[in-house]
Structure formats: structure tokens, C-alpha cells
Amino acid sequence: MKYLSEYRDGKIARGLADEIRRAATQRWVLMEVCGGQTHTIVKQGIDELVGEAVEMIHGPGCPVCVTPLEQIDRAMALASRPDVIFSSFGDMLRVPGSECDLFQIRARGGDVRVVYSPLDALELARRHPEKQIVFFAVGFETTAPANAMAVWRAKELGIENFSVLVSHVTVPPAMVALLEAPDNRVQGFLAAGHVCTVMGWTEYEPLARQYHVPIVVTGFEPLDLLEGILMAVRQLEQGRSEVENQYVRSVKREGNRPAQELVQKVFQLVDRQWRGIGTIPASGLGLRPEFADFDAEIRFGLEGITAEEPAECRAGEVLRGMLKPNECAAFGTLCTPERPLGAPMVSSEGACAAYFNYGRFRQATRSEA
């Protein structure tokens, strides 16, 4: 496929890997923020290809994975109601709650539907005025504009039987939380290209200056990632800490201004709990007061539902880059895609799913990397 196969050329990839090894005078530690990038890195063996020069650690950039357990339980409570049609992207249906998942709720008779856009959920509300339609609004800044548009249109059209269960999170506060952690190992970041397509990269510039870390906005294909790693290594070797853009074919510094303006009209920054990490101040998006009528938590009185993370699941350490999935004792035994302990094993962007699906059942030794 044109403009895709060009970014998967093995000869160019090996050349970039050689250049990374030549550029590095020590082994640097980089974190890719996005779960989609993690899957490319693991599937293509990029971390093993550059292992002598760079250790890649996997960040909390999987929106399904960081959605807290209590929010999943709130979704279960809504999906179990006979007056509700609960709609969601497909990834969320396998994420375990305290007792079951949304697939099991559907098997028990709950009306749970997979949609491909929040506007599909809005159309359900138009077609089923006798039901309450709830859409599970999950994601980083990438999905926020479409979710904001659905809420905006619902208010504009006067559709009263539509609401959203919001679990939006934003990237920069999570990066700050990682950098300020006492056990932080991150020396540079690969930033998610699709988030920056919406938001640009100006919000990363003060982080690079304050914490002295290079941040490279990177795409998702193997050559994107290898070039991004090379750019970050060169910064580290030169003592620079700047924001650079590898993903020039899609990302501009200012991002998509109309999308940002729509998000700002509908959402406001709120404190948000992250699964396995805890509450990060001002790291989430919540509906503004003028759109509170479309907030499912308020409409259905869900604020009292809380939950504790299972002790045997070490997803939090995986999401913070402190643990590789195959270093967890439950990986591939107590925790599999068929019987997951946590969201990273079932999400299409989860690090544990990547390691399981691509056969990373043991940790490579330093000589094998």
C-alpha cells in the first residue's frame, strides 16, 4: 500500500538501527508514551534491534488500560439497567471490572452495543427515544474532539436521552507524574503523533525545558519510530532537551485549532484517577457545567461507586514503565487474554497484550538484546 510500505522498509530500518548504535556512547532509556507505538515496537522487534544503545520502556499511553476499575464498575452498573442501551468502542468490552466485564453483562441480557463513533451512539438515541443511550467516552486528546461534537450536537438538537460516561485523560500531566516520581528512569520521550495531530506540541515545550528531557513527536510505523529514537539519542548525546517533530507528514506545532476550540467549549480540566497509578491532578477532561445534563455520572447517580485494584495485578507498574509485562509472575499464566487480570492484557494498545500476542514470554538477556 502506497505511503505505508515505504515506512516498513527493512533495509532502511537496519540502517537507522546502525546509526542509533553509532550515535550512542551509553545505553539510554526512552519511553514511548503511546500503546499503539508499543505494539509496533514489540511486533517488529525494534526494542531488540536497538537494545545495545537504547532501552525502550512502555508508558501509560493506552486509554483503555488507564481507565480506573471504578469507572469500569460504573459502566457495568449502567449496562445492567433495563432502561439503558450502553454503547462503547469494542476494546472496552473485555476489560475486567470487579466482578465481570461488559461482554458478560451483554450475555446476561444487558443491551451493550459496539459503535465506531460517538455520533453512532447519538443516532441510537434518535432512533430509540424510549431508552437512555449512554456512550463510554474513553481516550486521550485524540478522541476528545469527536466526543465533544456528540455532546454539542445532542444539546443543539435537544436530544435528552443521550449521555456520556466520561473517562478522558490527557498526556502532559502523566508525563510530569512519571518525571517527578522518585523511581523515574525516563531520559527521553517519544510522544504520540495522533495526540499531537490534535493538540500540537507547544504544551510539551515547557516540560522539555523544566525536566531536561528530549521529546520527539513520532509516528507509528517502524521507520517513524526508529527515526524518532535516533533523534532522541542525538539530543541526549549533545546535551539538548527540546521538542522535535519526526511526524512531519501529519503534525504541526499548533495542532488542529478548530478541534481544540471544540474540546475547550465542551470539556474542562479535572483531576482524574488512572488505573494502577492513582489520581493525577488536572489530568482528565470532564464536561463543563453547561453540559452537565449529558453527564451519565450525574444523571444516574454513580459517584458513590468505588473499587480497589486487585493486588495480584501489577498493571500499574507496567503502565509506569517500571516492569516489563513478561517480568510479572502472572503474565501468561494467571493472566491471559482469555482470563485477564487487568486491562493491559486485553486492550489492542496494551503492553501486556503486545508481549503475549508477539511471543515475548521470557525476558531477553543483555547478550541477546
Per-residue pLDDT of the chain (369 residues; tens, 9 = 90+): 466 778 888 899 999 999 999 999 999 999 999 999 999 999 999 999 998 899 999 999 898 999 989 999 999 999 999 999 999 998 899 898 999 999 999 999 999 999 999 999 999 999 999 999 999 999 999 999 999 999 999 999 999 999 999 999 999 999 999 999 998 999 999 999 999 999 999 999 999 999 999 999 999 999 999 999 999 999 999 999 999 999 999 999 999 999 999 999 999 999 999 987 889 999 999 999 999 999 999 999 998 888 877 777 898 899 988 999 999 999 999 999 988 888 899 898 999 999 999 999 865 443 343
pLDDT value for 212: 97
What contacts 338, CB < 8 A, 6 or more positions away?
A: none
pLDDT at residue 367, rounded to an integer: 37
Residue-range domain boundaries for the chain: 1-310, 315-357
pLDDT at 362: 66
Residue 216 sits at φ, ψ, to 5 deg, of -115, 120
Instruction: Retrieve residue 345's grid coordinates.
Output: 492484557
CB 196 within 8 A of CB 255: yes
- Domain 1-310 adopts which CATH fold? Rossmann fold (3.40.50)
| pLDDT at 6 (0 to 100) | 81
Kindly give the interhelix angle for 222-238 and 35-44, rounded to the nearest 10 degrees. 100
Task: Give the 3-state DSSP-derived string for the chain, with helices as H, strands as E and coil as C.
Answer: CCCCHHHHCHHHHHHHHHHHHHHCCCCEEEEEEEHHHHHHHHHHCHHHHCCCCEEEEEEEECHHHHCCHHHHHHHHHHHCCCCEEEEECHHHHHCCCCCCCHHHHHHCCCEEEECCCHHHHHHHHHHCCCCEEEEEEEECCCCHHHHHHHHHHHHHHCCCCEEEEEEEECHHHHHHHHHHCCCCCCCEEEEEHHHHHHHCCHHHHHHHHHHCCCEEEECCCHHHHHHHHHHHHHHHHHCCCCEEECCCCCCCCCCCHHHHHHHHHHEEEEEEEECCCEEEEEEEEEECHHHHHHEHHHHCCCCCCCCCCCCCCCHHHHHCCCCCHHHCCCECCCECCCCCCCHHHCCCCCHHHHHHHCCCCCCCCCCCC
The grid coordinates of residue 227 equal 527515526
